[in-house]
Amino acid sequence: MLARIFAFEFRYQFRQPLIWIASILYFILIFFAITSDAVSIGGSIGAVNRNAPFVIMQMLAVMTILGTFFTTAFVSNSVHRDFELQTDSIFFSTPLKKTDYLLGRFAGSLFLSWFSYVAISLGIFVGSLMPWLEAERVGPFQIGPYVFAMLVFVIPNMFITGALFFSLATLTRNLLYTYAGVVVFVVGVLTAVNLIPDLEYRTLASLIDPYGLNAFEIQARYWTVLERNSLVPTLTGNLLLNRLLWCGLAAVVLAFTVWRFRMTVGGTGRASRQLRQATTEGGPSAVAPARAAGATGRAFAPVRPSFSRGTAWAQYLHQARLETRSVLRGIPFVIMMLFGLVNVTGATLTVESIAGTPVWPVTAILLPNIIGSFILVVLLVLIFYSGDLVWRERTLRMSEMFDALPMPTWTVWTAKLTALAVSIVALMTAVTATGVAVQSYRHYTNYELPVYFKGLFVLAGSHFLFLAVACLFFQAVCNNKFVAWLLSAFIWILGMVLPALHLEHLLYRFMAFPQVIYSDMNGFRPFNQLILWTSLYWGFFCIALLAVAHLLWVRGTEPRLRLRLRVARQRLTMPVRAAFAVAVVGIIGSGSWIFYNTNVLNRYIPQDRQFDRQADYEKKYKKYEDMEKPRITDAKVDVDIFPERRTADMRGGYVLKNKTAAPIDVLHVGINPDVVIRRLDVPNGRIESEDKVQGYRIYKLDPPLAPGATMELTFDVSMSYPGFANSGARGKIVQNGTFFDSTDFLPHLGYQKMAELDDPNERRKRGLPPIVRFAKVDDLEARRNTYISNEADWVNFETTVSTSADQIALAPGNLQREWSENGRHYYHYRTDAPILNFYGWLSGRYAVKRDHWNDVSIEVYYHPGHPYNIDRMLEGAKKSLQYFSDNFGPYQHKELRIVEFPRYARFAQALPNTIPFSESIGFIGRIADDPDAIDYVFYVTAHEVGHMWWAHQVMGANVQGATLMSETMAQYSALMVMEHEYGRDKMRRFLKYELDSYLAGRGAERIEEMPLYLVENQPYIHYRKGSLIMYALRDAVGEQPLNAALREYVQAVKFQQPPYTNSPEFLDFIAKAVPADKQALLDDLFRNITLYENRATKATWAKRDDGKYVVTLQFASAKYRADGKGKETERPMDDWVDVGVFGEKGKDTPQEGKVLLLEKRHLAPGEDRVEVVVDELPKKAGIDPFNKLIDRNPENNIMAVAAGGPALPPGSDLEKHPGPVPAPPGTGTAATAAGDAPAAAPAAVPSDTH
């Protein structure tokens, strides 16, 4: 019987459209996710294959979250439709057993919904066969990951969610409660997923996620590319536990439902109650009416209607009110809105934090988060309700009555569009209120309502309105609700897919949001024109759509297009013709203006053409890369910045010197092709070729430049951002917060490697060989240049910069003079120490705060609305100058300044004595509130100040490992300053994040992971791993010896001439500080990729007669070396590793507890236990407890210590009691529960244990 019901259920729902819609939708979505970068669902990044096992499993697992809605629809329908169609009385009066009935229906509908996942698998499989995919990123077909994902994620998740919501639907007999339940459930899960970045909650996050996705991602978090492309996870640990836990829970719920269910007829819902009332009350009245026979009652005096323009307006208003009310009071609307608001709350509460430290929730940050987390809800509401509204009268079978009413046709669809528009406004209002509530909750009260208004109502709102029009148009024209729904979704997907196909122009991307960034400093200003004109353009387009919708609007019972066209001719009245005319004129007018701005005033270059151009540059000019050229020795550049016009004029010259032994007769000069060249003079030079597309000129020098001789290159160029560009690119010259540097608009000498295309996949497509990121570490030829410039060594720099009267302009160098002239503000800066050939200019309306350290003046230039952390920056700068001067050598400038720039970019950078700092990083950080927070404002400041030594004094050659001496050393410098300020415990917290970032960064590597000393400008290595390595090195050799070696190195190489220093030389200096027995450490830390797997397995204590405690710690340790792709080989342990024992946890202790013992032990291969003596009762013990080594499972290094045995005499150790120590009842299990303790400990205690 069960089987028959199962089969019936399957066949019944198989004939319904929903499963087909779900399957087709999934297939399309996944197909695009696999074959383009426009749609992403987890998915592959970098060198990970598009069909990598990791990608397959992640996609299938992620889709089970979305699939909850569909699964619920199937399983709840399976029983609920009997109540709804009132067939329950038929079924329940048969001799059907309720177990068969319920489980058959449940299983049948569940099996059916499984087919949508088959569609997903097909989408992945078919997608990966597509010929346009790069062959290098498609791996061989493997069945394993599909099977694993089906068995571990898909089927269990379908069962779990299916059982929960089947039960809810069956027991409540109410779909509203069921869907409300789904929403609460999914939101809860998404919150759990959001917990992942917080290191502290990983185990909890693994278990509470009913989809098992957290457990999977935590297990695979540190997978390298190789592993992502090949591994299938193991069903163990938290993943297994999670699956068992949730499947078990679901089974219990299902059993409960079967037990509770009664095969009784009739709902308990409100609707059915009302129905019963209605029929009982209706009874008597029907019979009542003797008086009915006569024409009694009030005499019927018909009211003559009047038809005027006012009538139509009143009809529209009345209808619009009714339609709007039906949407806003609709259950789906309320549920979707609540779902969205919860999502928004989650997203905005956890906005950008850096290393776990929160930022002030300024509106500029909340806006993109709000839109990002809410857009889907708005789209769903619009798509769903466009269909619902347009089809409402027909669905309710009242269209015949309704359509024959004498209101003009335009009032009908306008009322429906109004309902959609009002619902957009309602959603935006709700989301604004949520944003304000979140800000209030976080004690931020500068709500900036105009920013909300402009960002959400004007900008996002107009786009949503356009989508609403498109949805309405499809519903009106297609005359098939489902087809129109698909088309509506397709329009939205198209908006994402087109850019991926490099069809990027705003003129044909309907749902394209212009890339708009609100900056506190600069508002929306650079985007205003773009927003205005694209809105007008699509607005006119929508008028045309609406006019067509009006003509083809179905009124009556005649859906055939041919007949509707006949009616359309009747409807083509003057106003409609006028609307068409306005739309066409408007589209052409605003379109032309957009085109003029994007393609005439600016250049429209889609991404692929940009790549082509980069490839061409390389193909044409790479051959000149190693050509001899003169070097810049002096740069004098005067700059006039006109913020409101977004223009900068740059005049000046370079002194060039032939430092080679031979005469130079050719000079190559490159310049950004967008720059207007008014004058570019090369004395004795004759233009031999000029390439305006690439901005590349070749001059013949006659006479040639003799060895040792100098010449001057002078120029007068101008850069401006007229109108608006298609990309919406912010540009570097803006109304408030201009920031550009010497690589942006100034002439440079010869071929610039920096301009090469660096994406391996894009290079391959264009026939370029794999990129050589850096020359080999000992390449002497390459060591003639620093990694920052191939046209100069150290230069003298001088600039006079002017800006508008209300702004301050800044550039590297010490300020010589400041004056006003012609209503403009002038500043003259000059360096008094040589600098790298790298400088920049900034201009803005700044507030200034000054301080000084010794005779160095320190200034912070900031947006007046961002006063929060200025003192931290000043403090950080002072402490840094002090520490670095003491330890590395003197500071070379008289001034040091930090300057804020808009959030168009997110970094801080060290120019000589000038540190541009993005408004999104330090200025809105919320350091003061949380005593545990990492003061990254202090830290970033210290890092950038560190660069004044590590980059601006010591500069690595243009070979592998160069950033070790700049970025890694700036990290180390900052760590030391921070440690002195905040203590070691804070540092450990910080380093945990560094470890996490490094390990996660390995998985996103696009080419090859390098050991630190060969790092090829890879941030996750030179920053993240760099911090860990230098901290470990300091730990091993001590701060003073290490800094002494570093100081020696700085003195030896600072401001040096070619050949420039490299990492082996750096390591030679460091090696002097490392004791002879620890030299191997340098191999592990710098020359190889070394990973450890340390794990505490058992810890016991025993009290000695003298009151001290003997702690025995058993552990497993292993050490691996990885190659660049992540392939690991085990190496014998031969390392000094921390062993720690911790006591009571107190207020001032590390979070592990009071440190009772922390000492380095030398571990040889096979060692797995140590024994130590401590004075106080031990609580926890571990190996490498502070994670100083790079360990992929840092959490299991430490464990609780259990009471292990009887009291011992002093000096005795547990070796005298071989074998497992019997645990006293009730205390001994803690240790074994936490780890799998070996039964016996065979290894000998090494001689240096005591």
Partner 1 sequence: MTPELIIEGVSKTYPNGVQALRNVTLNIPAGMFGLLGPNGAGKSTLMRTLATLQEPDTGRIRLGTVDVLKEKDTVRRMLGYLPQEFGVYPKVSAYELLNHFAVLKGIIDAKQRKETVEALLERTNLSNYRKRKLGTFSGGMKQRFGIAQALLGDPKLIIVDEPTAGLDPAERLRFNNLLSEIGEQVVVILSTHIVDDVSDLCRNMAIIGSGQVLLTGDPLRTIETLRGHVWKKMVTRDDLPAYERDCTVISTRLVAGRTQIHVLSGNRPDATFEEVTPMLEDVYFSTLNAADVKAA
- Interface residue list for partner 1 (CB under 8 A): 271, 274-275, 277-279, 282, 285-289, 292-295, 297-298, 300-307, 310-311, 314-315, 318-319, 322, 326, 329, 392, 396-398, 400-401, 403-408, 555-558, 560, 563, 566-567, 570
Give least dist CB 517 to partner 1, A.
Answer: 44
CA dihedral for 466, 469, 470, 471, sign (positive or negative): positive
Q: Looking at beta carbons only, is 130 or 278 nearer to partner 1?
A: 278
Give least dist CB 760 to partner 1, A.
Answer: 58
Alpha-carbon distance of 1196 to 203, in angstroms, equals 12
Q: Looking at beta carbons only, is 262 or 304 nearer to partner 1?
A: 304
Contact, 978 vs 985, CB < 8 A? no
Q: For residue 63, give Cα distances in angstroms to 13, 58, 341.
A: 21, 8, 22
Q: Looking at beta carbons only, is 135 or 288 nearer to partner 1?
A: 288
Alpha-carbon distance of 1006 to 1011, in angstroms, equals 15
Contact, 988 vs 1187, CB < 8 A? yes
Contact, 617 vs 624, CB < 8 A? no
Q: Looking at beta carbons only, is 11 or 318 nearer to partner 1?
A: 318
Q: Looking at beta carbons only, is 289 or 1206 nearer to partner 1?
A: 289
Q: Looking at beta carbons only, is 299 or 1240 nearer to partner 1?
A: 299
Q: How many C-beta atoms surround the C-beta of residue 198 within 10 A?
A: 13
**Read out DSSP for 623-681?**
GGTT----EEEEEEEEEEEETTTTEEEEEEEEEEE--SSS-EEEEEEE--TTSEEEEEE
Give least dist CB 419 to partner 1, A.
Answer: 13
Q: How many C-beta atoms surround the C-beta of residue 1201 within 10 A?
A: 26
Give least dist CB 559 to partner 1, A.
Answer: 10
Q: Looking at beta carbons only, is 135 or 290 nearer to partner 1?
A: 290
Pick from 368, 380, 457, 464: which is nearest to 417 by CA?
A: 464
Give least dist CB 330 to partner 1, A.
Answer: 9
Q: Looking at beta carbons only, is 481 or 1087 nearer to partner 1?
A: 481
Q: What angle do CA 885, 889, 895 make, to 5 degrees?
A: 60
DSSP state of 149: I
Give least dist CB 159 to partner 1, A.
Answer: 36
Q: Helices 409-441 and 528-552: crossing angle, nearest 10°?
A: 140
Q: How many C-beta atoms surround the C-beta of residue 322 within 10 A?
A: 11
Alpha-carbon distance of 1008 to 257, in angstroms, equals 55
Pick from 1197, 1073, 998, 1057: which is nearest to 224 by CA?
A: 998
Pick from 1171, 1186, 876, 1144: which is nearest to 1032 by CA?
A: 1186
Q: Looking at beta carbons only, is 262 or 397 nearer to partner 1?
A: 397
Residue 305 main-chain phi, psi, to 5 deg = -75, 160
Q: Looking at beta carbons only, is 281 or 1077 nearer to partner 1?
A: 281
User: Which amino acid makes up residue 876?
Assistant: G
Give least dist CB 332 to partner 1, A.
Answer: 14
DSSP state of 95: S
Give least dist CB 20 to partner 1, A.
Answer: 24
Q: Looking at beta carbons only, is 398 or 805 nearer to partner 1?
A: 398
Residues sharing a CB contact under 8 Å with residue 447, sequence separation 6 or more, in sequence order: 363, 436, 439
Q: Looking at beta carbons only, is 414 or 804 nearer to partner 1?
A: 414
Give least dist CB 925 to partner 1, A.
Answer: 51
Q: Looking at beta carbons only, is 310 or 823 nearer to partner 1?
A: 310
Pick from 136, 146, 144, 158: which is nearest to 44 by CA?
A: 136
User: Which amino acid makes up residue 165?
Assistant: F
**Read out DSSP for 2-55?**
HHHHHHHHHHHHHTSHHHHHHHHHHHHHHHHHHH-SSS-SS---TTS-TT-HHH
Q: Looking at beta carbons only, is 450 or 559 nearer to partner 1?
A: 559
Alpha-carbon distance of 484 to 395, in angstroms, equals 16
Q: Looking at beta carbons only, is 59 or 420 nearer to partner 1?
A: 420
Alpha helices in 199-269 (DSSP H): 202-208, 213-219, 225-230, 237-260
Give least dist CB 72 to partner 1, A.
Answer: 24
Q: Looking at beta carbons only, is 260 or 318 nearer to partner 1?
A: 318
Radius of gyration for the chain, computed over Cα atoms and rounded to the nearest angstrom: 36
Pick from 669, 656, 655, 664: which is nearest to 704 by CA?
A: 664
Give least dist CB 320 to partner 1, A.
Answer: 11
Alpha-carbon distance of 1080 to 1187, in angstroms, equals 19
Give least dist CB 289 to partner 1, A.
Answer: 5
Alpha helices in 480-606 (DSSP H): 481-500, 528-552, 561-571, 574-595
Q: Looking at beta carbons only, is 274 or 689 nearer to partner 1?
A: 274
Q: Looking at beta carbons only, is 269 or 865 nearer to partner 1?
A: 269
Give the total residue count for the chain: 1250
Give least dist CB 300 to partner 1, A.
Answer: 6
Alpha-carbon 1078 to chain mean position: 41
